[in-house]
Amino acid sequence: MKLPIRVEVNGDWRELEVDTRTILAEMLREQLRLTGVHIGCATGNCGTCTVFLDGKTVKSCCILAADVDGQSVTTVESLADSPDNLHPIQQAFVDHQGLQCGFCTPGMIMSTMALLRSNEDPTDEEIRQAIAGNLCRCTGYEMIVESIRAAAQASSSSVGDA
């Protein structure tokens, strides 16, 4: 069964036809080629598929594409227009080695953005709570927390846009 949907993705309204079996993460990756949205566990645990849906972070593996008709989706691709001009959160992850294999990174970045929107100066405990829904299989959490701490210091003025 195919359904037409209208969805705003990274600021542009798109008219799409989606198979009802398609999960949001697949739609973003395969129909729109937004491959920054990773699919890890597909069971809502790892969080690497985290995107914003109407302004709140969700795990896009656990939402049917047909269910986001009329809504707004923001992916990690919206943060920077080129590798030379990274978002302060992305730059902080680069500068502080907040990634090893990089597979969890898009989700970590989106959860960081959600955190810094509501809390410009989070404690380490608040940072850890904010990424509780994002797993790093490399277990590089210390550097991720350090990166988020640095991002908070660097970017309090510029994280509200995406």
Partner 1 sequence: MISWELEFHAPTDLAEALDLLAERGEDVTVLSGGMSLMPMMNLGLVKPEIVLSLNRLRDLAHVTDDGDVIRVGATVRHGDLGADPTVQDAYPTLSSAASQLGDLQVRNRGTVGGSVAHAIPGADYPVILMAAGGEVRLDRKGSSRTVPADNFFLGLMWTAREPTELVTEIRVPRRQPGWVTAYRRFTRTEGGIPLVNAAAHFAPAGVGGVVAVGGVVPRPFLLDVPAFDPDDPDEVLDELEAMASVATREQVPSVDEDADYRVAMGGLFARRVLAACIQQLAGGEHTGEPA
DSSP label of 30: I
Out of 16, 66, 136, 148, which residue is the one contacting partner 1 (CB under 8 A)? 66
105/87 Cα distance (integer angstroms): 14
In 10 A of CB 31, how many CB atoms? 16
Nearer to partner 1, 119 or 156 (CB): 119
The verdict on 26 binding partner 1 (CB under 8 A) reads: yes
Residues 70-109 that bind partner 1 (CB under 8 A): none
Out of 9, 130, 144, 150, which residue is the one contacting partner 1 (CB under 8 A)? 130
160/142 Cα distance (integer angstroms): 25
CB 47 within 8 A of CB 135: yes
Closest CA to 18 of 59, 73, 99: 73
The verdict on 125 binding partner 1 (CB under 8 A) reads: no
Q: Applying CB under 8 A, which residues contact partner 1?
A: 1, 3, 20-23, 26, 42-44, 47, 50, 53, 56-59, 61-64, 66-67, 69, 111, 114, 129-130, 132-133
